[in-house]
A and B are shown apart, each in its own frame.
Chain A
């Protein structure tokens, strides 16, 4: 048993005849953020599902907080999915959804301490006013914050974020990373974050894992996201659109 929050070695996942992940190895230490990048279909979400125990690996070893995924304590793992599978037509208010993250069951009635912690989690993501809002009224960006609050309310030791900035405007995205980093500073929690934004990876992650079913690069963002690795993963180098005012020359 290692001290790593995530320790993956030789992970292979075959779904039917298709190899979704092939010999993937990496580690994430407590207090560390690892950004996972790669083209569509690279196996990023599959990787998160394996770490959660939702998909069984074909080969390799995985330890989450020192235990195999299905034995790892779910109460210490916060998860924000890419596709929000929540039923928006379900009769519920936001604080119930957040409280379900703490109880790991649906709350019939919130206890005082649940109400306090739910409110605190919503404050942590800058959304204290959403507590009594029905689920169906939440915008995409609000739902994203609520899901982060739902992950944080259980005070996780490991946060698994699948494209956490989806549906959020640029200012909201900065706020979101700030909330995550603030919690990480307070708790020493490890974060594994799937993202398509390599600038965000460079700014917010200590390590990056560039994936295209197999590991293309793993290390500091500068190492993992080098031009040669990007060419290998995407078929061309990454590029950034410069601000329009920089394109005008006298």
Chain B
């Protein structure tokens, strides 16, 4: 175990994976309770469009994918706010358009796009210090925004009551969508675009099964995210398997254990 931690690429991947999982676990509770699990998937596909554009322009995909995905996230939120279309319809449209753009950009690349596959499926070998630093900045921003937990939760449980109490729910929708977009992009190298939506949803869903209160659910979700990411990365190294797939499978196992516990012991108490 200690020899694994001595490897520099593993240090980078672990730090990036654990910090991303912390942020994703925290944001995931709002995504799950607002019934917006599809947003992770939609923004992941937008991130693919951004990565492909970065490769086409011979720029670092990270710096192109972040603004690209943020713009798509803002557009999704704006269209949802200004029309009577449901969230999944709007996300579905932007999801497909971004993916189509990504495919178009990739098809224009003169050479085989190995980098694109790194982003699609995740690879701990590909995590650079700059990627880890980007995750660190995201975690710091999230820490600075912790005081907003109460009003985000308030708008999640009763949006109309929150609006009547002057909570800026629309502004908060935009802030949350931008945070999810950045999380999706910075998590892409560790987890992979294909699986990232599960990374946002599974820890929160498992935590929901064990929690009576939202504060408890938030702490549990972040803790489960961190634990499963660390275990998944270690398994990925030990088995020489893709990091994204191992992390998600460890999370799925954790969810199965929580669901089993809920069905056997807690359903009668119906938390």
Contact = CB atoms under 8 A, between A and B. Distances in A.
B154 interface: yes
Interface string B152-184: 111011111101111100000000000000000
Given A87-B33, A136-B270, A92 B164 contact: no
A93 interface: yes
Nearest to A101: B161
A8 interface: no
B214 interface: yes
B150 A106 contact: yes
Interface stretch (A78-86, A177-185, A213-221): A78-86
**Among the interface residues A89, A91, A92, A93, which one has the most CB atoms of the partner chain B within 10 A?**
A91
A103 B33 CA distance: 21
Contact of B166 (A74, A106, A137): A74
Interface in B212-246: 212-217
Contacts of B164: 52-54, 74, 77, 79
A105 interface: yes
Given A100-B157, A106-B214, A91 B150 contact: no
A91 B217 contact: yes
**Among the interface residues B150, B216, B270, B271, which one has the most CB atoms of the partner chain A within 10 A?**
B150
Interface size class of B (residues with CB under 8 A): 20 to 34
A53 B216 CA distance: 33
B204 to A, nearest CB: 11
Nearest to B208: A91
B191 to A, nearest CB: 26
Interface in B126-162: 149-154, 156-161
B157 A86 contact: yes
**Among the interface residues B161, B213, B216, B270, which one has the most CB atoms of the partner chain A within 10 A?**
B161
Contact of B154 (A54, A77, A105): A105
B271 A90 contact: no
Chain A contact residues: helix, strand, loop or mixed: loop
B26 to A, nearest CB: 13
Interface in B180-215: 208, 211-215
**Among the interface residues A86, A106, A134, which one has the most CB atoms of the partner chain B within 10 A?**
A106
B220 to A, nearest CB: 10
B151 A85 contact: no
A14 interface: no
B161 A91 contact: no
A105 B151 contact: yes
Contacts of B33: 87, 89-90
Chain B contact residues: helix, strand, loop or mixed: helix
Contacts of A236: none
A175 to B, nearest CB: 23
Contacts of A92: 157, 212-214
B154 to A, nearest CB: 4
Given A74-B165, A91-B271, A86 B158 contact: yes
A87 B160 contact: no
A131 interface: no
A152 B67 CA distance: 46
Nearest to A89: B33
A87 B158 contact: yes
Given A90-B33, A91-B271, A136-B270, A96 B167 contact: no
A105 B214 contact: no
Given A53-B164, A54-B164, A91-B208, A106 B157 contact: yes
A108 B212 CA distance: 12
Contacts of A97: 157
A109 interface: yes
Contact of A106 (B153, B211, B271): B153
B215 A108 contact: yes
**Among the interface residues B211, B213, B215, B217, which one has the most CB atoms of the partner chain A within 10 A?**
B213
Given A87-B158, A106-B151, A137-B270, 12 more contacts: A86-B158, A91-B208, A91-B211, A91-B212, A91-B217, A100-B154, A100-B161, A104-B166, A104-B167, A105-B150, A105-B154, A106-B214
Interface of B: 33, 149-154, 156-161, 163-167, 208, 211-217, 270-271
22 contacts: A54-B163, A77-B164, A79-B161, A85-B159, A86-B158, A87-B158, A90-B156, A90-B214, A91-B208, A91-B211, A91-B212, A93-B212, A100-B154, A100-B161, A104-B166, A105-B150, A105-B153, A105-B167, A106-B149, A106-B150, A107-B150, A109-B215
